[in-house]
Amino acid sequence: MTRLTEYLLPTLKQAPADAEAVSHKLMVRAGLIRQIGAGMWTWLPAGWRVHQKVVEIVREEIDAIGGREMLMPVLQPAEPWRKTGRLEIEELFKLHDRKGSELVLAMTHEEAVTTHVAQTVDSYRELPLILYHFQVKERDEPRPRAGVLRTREFVMKDSYSFDRDQAGMDERYELHVGAYDRIMRRTGLRFYRVESDVGMMGGLGAHEYMAPCAAGEDEIVLGEGYAANVEVARTSPDVQWDGDGAYTRNGETLRVEPAIEIGNIFKLGTRYSVPLAATYVDQHGSELPIWMGCYGIGPARIVAAAVEQYADEDGISWPVALAPFRVHLVGLGRAGTPEREATEQLYAKLVQAGVEVLYDDRDAGPGEKFADADLLGCPLRLTVGRKSLQSGEIEVRSRRAREQLAGLPLQADGPQFARLLDELCRDLP
């Protein structure tokens, strides 16, 4: 799989001086991301593995509700944006090509996807439809902050649903609620689905998926069977707000927690289909506007939220589903020693058995290796040293529980290791 001596994992003892958020500090320290400008971040190999773990979970669940993956460009003509009235948005990057044509860098893809559906869908027989992609979004943020929590360029999964009528749109919306619930559950994050404000989009309903954590930019109001963002709570008839910090509902005092928005789902209605002329012909021959919904997820924010929620003083502690590697194998002793030889053999077996393993084969001291393993935060750490040769056992440590688990037999074969490690991971948080 991966040997550390052949990898790029630039870990740091000290966090960047100006970093404030835990995820910002730790993701840089663990060698997952590096900054190239304000709100512009590179994902280094280990960080990108985590990002893509999220992407794969999202892809599986959106495919499962009938989503069709595609890819639309970031660079787009300005005209459709003018039609929907969104060319005026300040966060939208605008530019001109050498001929002087007006272009934009897309901040979402309603204009593009609706244009294509308008071009290609004619009949009620072709609806409903869910289209989605993972694509970079560009936003001229007034203030990027906190590492990858708020950036000017980021990958988003955005899906769009197209229906014959409002009831159909509501159905597609509910499918997304189910898919999003499953996605968030699978990531291992603590999250809430909260009612949100329809805002200036003037839509017909919306929810946000919020991950509570200290670096969160938003606040959510929580009670027994109740979760909403503050804007909604303040205007809700059954919630009393004293104008200060305190909220009550049916006599219950509600808690307020900071949280990161990791996803949102939105009933658009005909907000985009009307200006972009996305219509279909129904069974009676009438031309009608298509009913739409849009659904976003930011994988980078899920990654950062996972770091925020589970970090401790030694570093990151990934949920199993997001970890860059399941197993961090530490080989003690220098090259040529018997314990190192045993580690090499173990590594070969793990690789052959398809275990996702990062092997620290550096010629470094044990303290440094253990510290880096804690910092990177893979769920299981296997250690092979002189003790292992004597006992015949590989030491196993859980990153999250920070405790030694039962050792594994050094002499087991690859498939046995794969099975034992799978079982161990199943029991981990």
Partner RNA sequence: CGGGGAGUGGCGCAGUCUGGUAGCGCACCCGGCUGGGGGCCGGGCGGUCGCAGGUUCAAAUCCUGUCUCCCCGACCA
383 binds RNA (CB under 7 A): yes
For RNA, which is the closer residue by CB, 20 or 60? 20
Distances (CA, A) of 38 to 12, 53, 152, 205: 21, 26, 8, 33
Any contact of residue 388 with RNA (CB under 7 A)? yes
Which of 367, 406, 423, 426 binds RNA (CB under 7 A)? It is 367
CB 165, CB 297: distance < 8 Å? no
290-309: which residues touch RNA (CB under 7 A)? none
Among positions 9, 23, 24, 303, the unique one binding RNA when judged by CB under 7 A:
24
State the number of binding residues for RNA (CB under 7 A).
Answer: 60
Say whether residue 217 binds RNA (CB under 7 A): yes
Q: Which is nearer to RNA, 47 or 144 (CB)?
A: 144
Bridging pattern class, strands 239-241 and 247-249:
antiparallel
According to the binding rule CB under 7 A, does residue 314 interact with RNA? yes
CB of 312 to RNA, least distance (A): 11
Q: Examine residue 218 and tell whether it contacts RNA (CB under 7 A).
A: yes
Residue 313's contacts (CB-CB under 8 Å, 6 or more residues apart) are none
Contacts of 344 (CB under 8 A, 6+ apart): 331, 361
By CB under 7 A, tell whether 39 contacts RNA.
yes
Residues 78-107 that bind RNA (CB under 7 A): 85-86, 88-91, 107
CB of 416 to RNA, least distance (A): 21
Rule CB under 7 A: say whether 142 interacts with RNA.
yes
Closest to RNA by CB, 169 vs 382, is: 382
Q: How far is the CB of 408 from RNA (least distance, A)?
A: 13
* Interaction of residue 368 with RNA, rule CB under 7 A: yes
For the chain, percent helix, then strand, then coil, each to nearest 5?
A: 35, 30, 35
Q: What are the Cα distances from residue 65, in Å, to 132, 209, 366, 423?
A: 12, 18, 48, 29
Query: Nearest CA to 231 among 262, 272, 271, 261?
Result: 261
Q: Does 366 help bind RNA (rule: CB under 7 A)?
A: yes
Q: Which two tokens stand for residue 206?
A: 């919306």
Report the residue from 112, 220, 316, 375 that binds RNA according to the rule CB under 7 A.
Answer: 375
Cβ atoms within 10 Å, residue 189 = 24
Cα separation, 324 vs 93, in Å, equals 33
CA distance 421 to 424: 5
- How many CB atoms lie under 10 A from the CB of residue 374? 21
Does position 141 bind RNA by CB under 7 A? Answer: yes
C-alpha 111/C-alpha 52 separation (Å) is 26
Residue 141, C-beta contacts closer than 8 angstroms, at least 6 positions apart: 39, 91, 150, 151, 152
13 vs 284 by CB, closer to RNA: 13
Q: What binding mask, one character per residue, do residues 166-205 give for RNA by CB under 7 A, x or -?
A: ---------------------------------xxx----
Question: Least CB distance from residue 324 to RNA, whole Å?
Answer: 16
Measured CA distances, 263 to 33, 72, 187, 293 (Å) = 22, 20, 13, 14
> Interface with RNA includes 270 (CB under 7 A)?
no
Residue 31 within binding range of RNA, rule CB under 7 A = no
Of 1, 9, 4, residue with least CA distance to 316: 9
- The angle subtended at Cα 56 by Cα 53 and Cα 60, nearest 5°, is 145
Toward RNA, which CB reaches closer, 366 or 429? 366
Say whether residue 251 binds RNA (CB under 7 A): no
Q: Does 397 bind RNA (CB under 7 A)?
A: yes
CA distance 84 to 178: 30
The yes or no reply on residue 21 touching RNA (CB under 7 A) is: yes
Quick one: which of 6, 13, 237, 285 contacts RNA (CB under 7 A)? 13
Under the criterion CB under 7 A, does residue 371 sit at the interface with RNA? yes
Chain residues that interact with RNA, rule: CB under 7 A: 11-14, 16-21, 24, 35, 37-40, 85-86, 88-91, 107-108, 141-146, 150, 199-201, 217-218, 314, 332-334, 363-368, 370-375, 383-388, 395, 397
